[in-house]
Structure formats: C-alpha cells, structure tokens
Structure 1
Amino acid sequence: MKIFSKQQIYKGDQQTAKKQKISSTELMERAGMQIFNWIHERMQGAQVPIHVFCGIGNNGGDGLVVARHLITYGYSVHTYVVNCSEKRTEDFLVNYDRIKQTTKKWPIMLNCEADFPTIGPDDIIVDAVFGIGLNRPPNDWVKRLFQHFRASKAFTLSVDLPSGLYPDDVPEDENGVVWANYTLSFQAPKLVFFLPDTSKYTVNWEALDIGIDAEFLKETETEVELIGKNEIFPMYKPREKFSNKGTYGHALIIGGSYGKIGAVVLSGKAALASGSGLVTTFIPKCGYIPMQSSFPEAMTLTDHDEEKLTDISFDIEPTAIGIGMGMGTDVKTHVAFQKFLESNSASLVIDADAINLLSKHKEDLKLLKAQTVLTPHPKELERLIGKWKNDFDKLKKAKAFSKKHQCVLVIKGAHTITVFENKMYINSTGNPGLSTGGTGDVLTGMITGLICQGYEPLMASLFGVYLHGKSADIAVEDYGYQSLTASHVIEYLGKAYLDLFAKPQMPHDPDAEEHIS
C-alpha cells in the first residue's frame, strides 16, 4: 500500500474532483459519510453522547458532515466549532450552513477554556479539529482542549490524523496533540502512524476508501510503501518439481565467539527454514561440537582459533553470506573481517558485531559490494549513521547512507523499515514478543536464505522481514508475548509461508468495538 505525502494527498483530491466531475464539497461529503458509516456500523443507534469537535478548515468540514449524519440518524450528538482563527475554508462554511439546516441545535462555538464542555469517560469524542495542513503548534487554549480530551478518558476517534500531529514532522509538545484511540485515515495511512516518536498518538488506525481517482493511486510513485500480504504474495517464487538442493543456493553463516555460538545456530537454522538448499556455518573451534550436535542439517567449518574469528577463509562458493552474529569486535576479528570484505564476491547480509566493526572503522564501508544488506537495531544504526534529532531526521540520514553506499538498510523496530536509496518500505507484521535475544539473528539467516533462492537483496529483505513478523504473529497465539523465543520464530516459519495462500480475514478489534457499542 502506498503512503502518500501531504502534497500528493492534495493533488489526489484535486485530480479526483476534476476527473470525476465533482466539487471539493462533494468529495468532503463522501469522506465524512465514510466516517459516519464506520461509526454507525459499530454503534447501531446506541445512545451514547458523541462530542464532535470541528476546526474551521477542511478537517472541520469533514467533522460537520459526520455530525450532520449522526444527527439525522438520531444519535445523541453535541457539535462544537473550535474557533481558533478568523479564517474559514469554503467547504467548512458550506457544511456549517448545512448542519444549521438539519437541526435547531446549532454547533457551539469554543473560544477559550471557559467554553470547554463536560465529557464523561463513557462518552465518545470525534476529533476533526486539524487535518494534514497544520504547519504550526496550536494555540495554548487549544492545547488545553486536547488535554481536556485526554483527561476525560473518553474514547477518541480522530478524522484522518490526530489533531496537532503533522504528517511530515514530529511535534515539539506532546500536550498539543490529540491522543486518539482510533484514527480513520482517508484512502491510505500516514507515515507518522509507524514511527516511534509519533505512533503513540493513535493506538489503532484504519484506512477508509473515499474513492480517490484510481489512475492517480496506481500511477503516483510514493517515497514510502506499507508492506503487507498483498505486496508480498507476488514476490513468492514457487518450487519446481525437478529441483534439488543445489537449485536453492548455498548459505554461509559466519559468526560466533566463545559463549555466543547459539547466535550462529539460530541464524543457520533460519536460513535453512526459509528455504536455502544448503547451509554451512563458519565459527571458532569452540563451537564445533555444539554446532554439529544442535544443527545436524548444517555443514560446519571452523577458524583455527579456539575462541574467536581470526581468519575467515573457506574453500566453498556460497550463494549468499550472513555475517556478524555473536562475532565480537576483537582487533584480530576486525582484521579478518576486513580481509574477508576485500575478497568477497557473494551477496552479503551484515548484522550485529559486523555492523559495529563497520561503525568503528568506517573506511571499510567502501569495501561493500552494491546491494549489501545491513540489519541494524536502533543503537547499531546510531553508531552507523550518527545521532538524529527525531525519526524524520533518522530516515533522512538512513536514506543518505543507503544512497552513498548503495546498500539495503533494514532498520529493525516495531515497524521495521527497509531503506534502499530514496525508497522506504514499512513492514506490517510482528509484535512485542520479538523483543527478545536471538530474533535478529533469525532475521539475518532468513534474508540470507532468501537471497540464496534467487530473490534480489531488496526483495529478500522485504520478504524476510514480513515472514519473520508473520511467524511471530502466529507463534504468539500459542506462547504469548513474554514466552516467545527466537526458536519459535523458526519453528513457525512454515506456517508463515502457508499463510500467504490463506484467504484474507477482515481486521477486527473487539476492544475498540466493545468501547463504542
């Protein structure tokens, strides 16, 4: 699913109105009606007080449409206009007149804190104060209104974007933003729903189809995409009847040090479970017996050093190599790693201590071949690209790094973001159960295994991240967040593959429905 920029959203609205020969007011009616339908489907006429707060721009116009339809259907509606400016948009004024013609209970003007209404914890707030066009912090009394929302503990539904939140920046004052339980975003989600600095402002979101021009949606190139099952399924490469283990490549997993051989075991098993035809591990001598006994499907090569890697040399020709997990950053290990980079010609996935070595010795970055995949967690990313001011600054630095070094950057997190040059891909699977040791090693093995099967490094990264999260989503149903382990992710990987062919189910949030029904 494409995630559009603010400028693209405006263009899409304009193109839709022009091609469908409708006015912007009619498009607003369509958008507001979709919000109303979502509420009505869940409430079915329940007489819970609904407080609709409208700004004086187009987002406020959407809110007035919602309020009008709720009133028409007999709901208990209280409509307010947050009078924060002298300017009004034309579409707001049109819908303001329409709601006055619908009910004798006209919208109440809010001009200061003294005008704030009483809101009960069992009430519902519809936030339609600001939309995507906000470019400065709200007035102080409006900030206090948003705090009033939060203090009420009422279920808060935001229209398109939580008010006070920018679509392309991080707000300086969290008290100047509505904290929504649910956000209904028009046509597509917003990037801010997926970033650590801003995702807290909406617990859940849903994209509503408001009939934006199909040609615009198809042909417009976006900088950001949300990767789900619909995007992943076409990437899948079916197996051939007369194939053999040589058909699906040979993965070499390099890493480990004394006490950290398990990282290589996990990565190697993940490479095999993701579909690599053959797996060889390269580890220090101390790991030979543990590896052979715990991972019989793998072949094992060892360094001459007992406890760490000091000479990464082998006589096989791997299709792809995953390196770094549990490897350590010893001086001798760095020398071996540097020599390896100088001679390597295979596709490469770099993780953990190998990333830390690159961060310490940035001159080694010039040794990376094009489309090398790096899989840093947040702290490793900071060492690699430097500190950032906020998440948007982080993404800017990540794109610059990817472009400079022609590498694929997999930024691990709640919504793992894969960056390649100027494009960003946000993953939609995964859960807090992945916050445990070893899951990153598993991901590296999976991406390595997918490259071995013929997936291009970027596609392998997107597919691997998706399957990694989906496997955890399936496993967590049996183990819960706290008890999920990296080994479970490998164990459930087959079910994640099978899920690609399962019929899609409609998203369901019983907690949200219970609150507003």
Structure 2
Amino acid sequence: MKIYSPEQMRKADEATMQTHQISSSQLMEHAATQIFNLLHQRLQGAPIPIHVFCGLGNNGGDGLVISRLLQEHGYHVKTYIVNFSDNRSALFLEKYDRLKSVSKEWPIQLKCEEDFPEIRKEDMVIDAIFGIGLNRPIVPWVTSLIKHINNSRCFTLSVDVPSGLYSNKAPDDREGVIYASVTVTFQLPKLVFFLPETGQYTQELEVIDIGLDRNFIMSTPGVAELISKNEVLALYRPRHKFAHKGSYGHSLLIGGSYGKIGSVQLATKACLRSGAGLVTAYLPECGYDSLQTSVPEAMVITDEEDDYLTKITLEKHYNAIGIGVGMGTAEKTIAAFADFLGSNKSPLVIDADAINMIGIAPELLENIPPKTVFTPHPKELQHLIGTWKDDFEKLEKTKEFSSKYDCVVVIKGANTITVYKEDLYVNTSGNPGMATAGSGDVLTGVIIGMISQGYDPVTAAVFGVYLHGSAGDIALQQRGYQGLIAGDIIEHIGHSFIELFKAPPQPQQQAQT
C-alpha cells in the first residue's frame, strides 16, 4: 500500500473530481459519511455525549458533516468551532451553513481558554481541528484546548490525522497533539503514523476507502510503501522440485568474540531457517565448540586468535556474507575488517560492531560493495549518518547516505523502515516483545539467508524484515511480550513463511431465526 504526502493527496482529490465529475463538496460529503458510517456501526445509537471540535479548514468541514449526520440520526452532539483565525475555507463555510439549517443547537464558538467545555471521561470527542496540511505553529490557546481534550482521557477519534501533527517535522510542543484513541484516515495511510516521534499519537489506525481515483493511485508513486502480507507474498519465489542445497546459496557469518559467541549462533541459525542452502560461521577459536554443538547444520571456520578476530581469510566465494554480530572493536579486529572489505566481492550485510568500527574509521565505507545492507539500531545509525533533530530529518539523512554509497539501510524499530536511495519501505509486522537481546542478530541472519537464495538485496531486506516481524508475532501468541526471546523468533521463521499463504479468516454468518 502506498503512503502519500499531503500534496499527493490533494492531487488524488483533484484527479478524482475531474475523472468522476464530482465536486469537492460531494467528495467531502462522501469522505465524512464514511467516518459517520463507521461510528454509527459501532455506537448503534448509544446515548453517549459527543463533542465535535472543528477547525476552520477542510478538516473542520469534515467534522461539520459528521456532526450533522450524527444529529440527524439522533445522537447527543455538541459542535464547537475552534475560532483561531479570520480565514475560513469555502467548504467549511458551506458545511457550516448546512449544519445550522438542520441543527436545533448551533455550533458553539471557542475563542479562548474561558470558552472550553467540560469533557467527562465517559464522553466522546471527534477531533477535526487540523488536517494533514498543518504547516505553521498552533495558536497558544488552541494548544491548551488540545491539552484540555487529552486531559479528559475520554475516547477520541481524530479525522485523517491527530490535530497538532505536521506532515514533515516533529511537533513544536509534544504535549500539544491530540492523543487519539483511533484515527480514521482517508484512502491511504500517512507517514506520521509509523515514526516513533509521531506514531505514538494514534492507538489504533483505520484506513477507509473514500473512492479516490484508482488509476491515479496505481500510476503515482508514493513517498513510501507500506509493507504487509500482500506486498511480501508478491516477492516470494517458490522452490523448484529438483532443487538441491547448492540451489539456495552458501552464506557466511563473520563475527563473535569472547563472551559474545551467542550472537553468531543466533544469526547462523536464523540464516538456515530462512532458507539458505549452506551456512558457514567464521569466528574466534573460543567459539568453535559451542557453535558446532548449538548449530550442527552449520560449518565453522576459526581464527587462530582465541578471544577475537584478527584475520579474515576466505578461500572460496560466498553468495552472501554477514559481518559484525558480537565482533567487538579491538584494534586488530578493525584491521582485519578493513582488509576484508578491500578484497571482498560478495553481497554484504553489515551489522552491530562492524557498524561501530565504521564509526571509528569512516574511510571503510569507500570499500563496501554496491547494495550493501546495513542493519543499525538507532545508536549505530548515528555512526553512519550523524545525529538528527527529528525522525523526518533522520529519514532524509539516511536517504542521502544510501544514495551516496549505493547501499540499503534497515532502520530498526517498531515499524522498521528499509531505505534504498529515495525509496522507503515501512514494515507492518512485529511487536514490543521483540525488543530483546539478540533479536537484531536474528534479523541479520534472515536477510543474509534471503540474499543467499538469490533475492536482490533490497528485496531481501524488505522481505526479511517482514518475515522476522511475522515470526515474532506468531511466537508472541505462545510466549507473551515479556517471555519472548530471540530464539523464539528463529523457531517461528518457518511458520512465518506458512502464514504468507494462509487465507484470511472469513467472518462467521449469523444463523437465520
């Protein structure tokens, strides 16, 4: 599913109106009616006091239509106009007049903090103050209104986006944004829902189809792609009946140091579970026995040094190589890493201490092969792109880094984002239980295994991230958030492949009486 910018959404609206010969007023009616239908289906006429807060633009116009429809269906509604400016959109004025023509109780004008209504925890708020186009600081008293709504702790539905969110930067006041119980957004999701700084303002997201022109959406690239089961299923390459282990490549995992051999074990096992035909681990002598015992399916090569790697000598070609997990940053290890980069020609996944070594010696970046995949957590990402002021700048800097070095960067997090040059792929699988030691090592192993099988590095990263998260979701059902560990993710990688081909459950039909 595509993710559009505000400008792209406006163009989609224009294309829809032109192609389907409808007015902007009709499009607004249809969109707002879809939200009303969702509410009406869930509320079923419940006598809940509903407060509808409307701004002065088109988002406020949506709110006015929703308020009118709620009143027409017998709900107890109070409508408030958040009067922060003398400017009003034409659609707002049209919907305002129509609401007044049918309402027994005209909208209440809010102009300062003294006008704020009482909102009880048992009430409901519909937030239609600002839409996706917010591009300037909010008037202070309106920020206070937003905080007043949040402090009520009532159920809050935001129209399109929670009010107070910008589309291209973090909020000016982190408390001056609606904390929405649910956000109902139009046609396509927005990037703000998936970034750590801005995604926290929506507990539940509903994307509703408002009938925007399909041809425009199909032909117009978004600012990002939302990756879910349907998108990943299209990437899957089925196995051939007469294939053998050599058909799926030979992967090499390089890493480990005294006390950190477990990370190589996890990555090696995950690589095998993801489908690599052959896997070899290259690690210090101290890890030989434990690796051979814990992962008997893998082959092992050791350095002469017992505690950490001092030399990386490869005597054959590998289809994919992963380096860095548990590796440490000893001086001799950095030298070995530099020598390896100078001679390596295989596709490469760089993680953990290999990224930390690049932070120590940035010149190492000059020798990475094309489409190298980096898998940093936030602190490691700083070694690659420097610091950032907010998540939006983080993405821009990552795109610049990716373009400069022709590499893929997997920004790990709640919605892991894979970046290749200007392309962003936002993952939807995974859960907080995966915030546990070794989870990142497992992801590295999965991506290496996918590359080994012949997937392009970008595809391998996108596919691997989804499988990793899906395996975590399946494991969660047995282990719970606190009980989930990295090994559980590995054990369910096979199930995550199976899950791709499961049909969604069909809704049960009620028996006729």
Bin of the TM-score, shorter chain as denominator length: over 0.9
Q: Residue 175 of structure 2: SS of its match in structure 1?
A: helix
d(CA) in 2 for partners of 1:135 and 1:347?
A: 42
* Deviation sequence 1:180-233 (CA, Å, 0-9, x none): 111111111111111111112111211111111001110111221111111100
Structure 1 runs not aligned, ≥5 long:
508-517
* Deviation sequence 1:277-300 (CA, Å, 0-9, x none): 011111111111111111100011
Aligned twin of 1:514 = none
Q: Give the deviation of 1:175 after TM superposition.
A: 2.9
Aligned twin of 2:26 = 26
Aligned twin of 2:241 = 241
Structure 2 runs not aligned, ≥5 long:
508-513
RMSD, matched Cα:
1.1
Count of aligned pairs between the two proteins:
507
Distance 1:463 1:308, change over 3 A: same
Q: Residue 196 of structure 2: SS of its match in structure 1?
A: coil
Aligned twin of 2:232 = 232
Aligned twin of 2:355 = 355
Aligned twin of 1:133 = 133
d(CA) in 2 for partners of 1:65 and 1:494?
A: 49
d(CA) in 1 for partners of 2:94 and 2:24?
A: 11
Q: Give the deviation of 1:316 after TM superposition.
A: 2.8
Aligned twin of 2:169 = 169
Q: Give the deviation of 1:301 after TM superposition.
A: 0.6
Alpha carbons 2:358, 2:383 under 8 Å: kept: no
Q: Give the deviation of 1:506 after TM superposition.
A: 8.7
Distance 1:394 1:271, change over 3 A: same
Q: Residue 306 of structure 2: SS of its match in structure 1?
A: coil
Partner amino acid for 2:332?
K
Q: Give the deviation of 1:105 after TM superposition.
A: 1.2
* Deviation sequence 1:342-399 (CA, Å, 0-9, x none): 1111110010000111111111101001000000000000122111111111111101
* Deviation sequence 1:105-144 (CA, Å, 0-9, x none): 1111111112111111011000001112211121111111
Aligned twin of 2:336 = 336
Distance 1:506 1:384, change over 3 A: farther
Partner amino acid for 2:3?
I
Q: Residue 204 of structure 2: SS of its match in structure 1?
A: strand
Listed as ranges, the matches of 1:19-168 within 5 Å are 19-168=19-168
d(CA) in 2 for partners of 1:249 and 1:414?
A: 31
d(CA) in 2 for partners of 1:78 and 1:243?
A: 67
d(CA) in 1 for partners of 2:74 and 2:61?
A: 20
Distance 1:456 1:28, change over 3 A: same
d(CA) in 1 for partners of 2:439 and 2:261?
A: 14
Aligned twin of 2:489 = 489
Aligned twin of 2:412 = 412
Q: Give the deviation of 1:99 after TM superposition.
A: 1.1
Partner amino acid for 2:430?
G
Q: Residue 201 of structure 1: SS of its match in structure 2?
A: coil
Aligned twin of 1:444 = 444
d(CA) in 2 for partners of 1:175 and 1:279?
A: 50
* Deviation sequence 1:42-69 (CA, Å, 0-9, x none): 1111111111111111000000111111
Listed as ranges, the matches of 1:502-517 within 5 Å are 502-505=502-505
d(CA) in 2 for partners of 1:202 and 1:413?
A: 17
d(CA) in 2 for partners of 1:503 and 1:74?
A: 40
d(CA) in 1 for partners of 2:177 and 2:260?
A: 45
Distance 1:33 1:134, change over 3 A: same
**Are 1:189 and 2:178 an aligned pair?**
no
Write out the 4+ residue segments of structure 1 that deviate beyond 4 Å after TM superposition.
none
- TM-score, with normalisation over the residues of structure 1? 0.97
Partner amino acid for 2:363?
E
Alpha carbons 1:137, 1:176 under 8 Å: kept: no
- TM-score, with normalisation over the residues of structure 2? 0.97
d(CA) in 1 for partners of 2:243 and 2:390?
A: 48
* Deviation sequence 1:124-171 (CA, Å, 0-9, x none): 000001112211121111111111101111111100011111111111
Q: Give the deviation of 1:505 after TM superposition.
A: 4.9
